[in-house]
Amino acid sequence: MAVLIVGADRLGKIQEKITLDNEIIHWSGRSKNCNKKSIPKRVTQIIIFCDFVNHLLMYSIKKQARKEGVPVIYSKRALSHNLGKLLA
């Protein structure tokens, strides 16, 4: 089981604050190849930092997540924005 985090160049303190027993997969969202990536099968939750990704990538992830039944959390880069949801 894994959590996919999309957006932000580096996770920094976010990785320390998200206390999950799951693997964390990070896509920065900067390269054009991210738009064509498919969500790995082992992902159980997706967190998208909206400040750092383009609309095409958000649309692609949203569509794939809906198809696979994976919940998506949209957040700003700041942990204080959705701290409860991110840590749940």
34 neighbors 57 (Cβ within 8 angstroms): yes
d(CA 39, CA 16): 23
32 neighbors 73 (Cβ within 8 angstroms): no
The residues spanned by each domain of the chain are 2-87
| Bridge partner residues of 23 (DSSP) | 2
Nearest alpha-carbon partner for 65 in 32, 27, 38:
38
2-87: CATH number: 3.40.50
Instruction: List, for residues 12-46, the tens digit of each pLDDT value.
Output: 666 666 655 778 888 887 777 777 788 999 999 89
pTM over 0.85: no
Instruction: List, for residues 43-88, the tens digit of each pLDDT value.
Output: 998 988 887 788 888 889 999 999 999 999 888 766 556 555 555 5
Using alpha carbons, list the distances in angstroms from residue 6 to 69, 82: 17, 15
d(CA 46, CA 5): 6
